[in-house]
Structure 1
Amino acid sequence: MPNPSGLRFASPAMRILENEHRYLSFLMGEWHAIVLSFEQDEQLSLEECRRKVKELRRLILDFKVPLDKHTQKEEAHFFPLLGTYIGFEQGPLVGIQQEHAEIDGYLGHFLHHTEGDIELMSQQKIASAVRDAGEAFEVLTVHFVKEEAVIFPMAESQLSEPDAGRLYSRMNTLITQ
């Protein structure tokens, strides 16, 4: 029977993470539209570039709050538990955790380079910073797919019922506050 929520996973803890991915993807779509406008319209005026990058910065700052909470949940509770089943030294958890650092790096680089008075930024510096936001979007998109295609199913099949229940109680927190 199809799930009316549209969520794919049966495990309550995996459903929390999957639902968070949906919310984060929605937020990403809002700021990625601005990134695409830079890629698709090379005739933007400097004034328009500055206006758009200010909005992009605001949206990414807002996005980072739930993203950081989601990432912290995974790294504090989910990955350590799953690692006791599948190992920590190699395999999918290593790559997923490296992607967390890569995402943080791209977003941090964008925020660093758009700090201060944007009115003083050149069009080239704005375009360079926006490319970092675009890279973050790409890595995040692939990252969510990998987690949902590999990591979450692995957790559902590997975790014992008591561990899955404990994980759920630890993961059942909001990322929006």
Structure 2
Amino acid sequence: MLSSQFNNKAMQILENEHRYLQYLMEDWHQIVLRFERNDFESNAEALSEFKQLRKKLIEFLDPLKNHTDKEEQYFFPMLGMYIGKEQGPIVATEEEHQEIDGYIGHFLHHTMQLTDDITYAEMQKRVQDAAEAFEVLTVHMMKEETVLFPMVDRVMLKKDLDQLTEELKTLITEPSS
């Protein structure tokens, strides 16, 4: 396991998952940045990269969904027993999960019938969804690591923390069921 800022294994697991997701995000975000810089010699080159972006976002979905499912099924309910679930940081975090899903889903939906005659302007418009997803994900993970994860050591009982650790010990790289 990589070095972690957290003392407990449960938050170390989630933090390591964040690092893996950030690694994958950086890969597809490089394509987004090329579109933002208009860094293409031709429409054909842009289209090739656009198709790569779509492929990389599809590959990103399973690890992302597996991670957010673990947080929503195990982490948030357990932490919510201590800090409440009806309002506050857990609700905001779950809403961000939906926002991220929305941006990626919007991109994938509007590129489902991708044809080779798509214009550069249309590609740039669609890439904005991926750019927004990246921005929300980046801020989202930082908030989890600076607000929610540190709460665990302060409020959670060892027996609940041990249970949470066991529940989180699944790989996010496995295909979703």
- Say whether residues 1:91 and 2:83 are aligned partners: no
Which of 43, 47, 53 lines up with 1:46 in the alignment?
43
Give the gaps of 5 or more residues in structure 2.
none
Q: Deviations over 1:131-172 (max 9, x none)?
A: 100000000000000000000001221110000000000000
**What one-letter code is carried by the residue in structure 1 that aligns with 2:81?**
T
Equivalent in the alignment of 1:130: 127
- Say whether residues 1:80 and 2:80 are aligned partners: no
Q: TM-score, normalised by structure 1?
A: 0.94
The CA distance in 1 between the partners of 2:117 and 2:152, in whole Å, is: 49
Give the gaps of 5 or more residues in structure 1.
none
**What one-letter code is carried by the residue in structure 2 that aligns with 1:108?**
G
Moved more, 133-142 or 88-97: 88-97
- Say whether residues 1:20 and 2:23 are aligned partners: no
The CA distance in 2 between the partners of 1:174 and 1:88, in whole Å, is: 26
CA contact (8 A) 1:99 1:139 kept: yes
Distance apart, 1:83 and its partner CA: 0.7
Equivalent in the alignment of 1:30: 27
Distance apart, 1:118 and its partner CA: 3.1
The CA distance in 1 between the partners of 2:22 and 2:38, in whole Å, is: 24
Structure 1 residue runs of 4+, over 4 Å off?
none
Distance apart, 1:107 and its partner CA: 0.4
Equivalent in the alignment of 2:156: 159
CA contact (8 A) 2:29 2:134 kept: yes
- Say whether residues 1:69 and 2:42 are aligned partners: no
Distance apart, 1:48 and its partner CA: 1.7
User: How many residues are matched?
Assistant: 174
**What one-letter code is carried by the residue in structure 2 that aligns with 1:56?**
L
**What one-letter code is carried by the residue in structure 1 that aligns with 2:166?**
S
The CA distance in 2 between the partners of 1:125 and 1:113, in whole Å, is: 10
Query: What is the Cα-based RMSD across aligned positions, in Å?
Result: 1.3
Equivalent in the alignment of 1:143: 140
Distance apart, 1:6 and its partner CA: 2.4
Q: For 2:29, what is the secondary structure of its paired residue?
A: helix
**What one-letter code is carried by the residue in structure 2 that aligns with 1:143?**
H
Which of 2, 6, 13 lines up with 2:3 in the alignment?
6
CA contact (8 A) 1:50 1:118 kept: no
CA contact (8 A) 1:14 1:156 kept: no
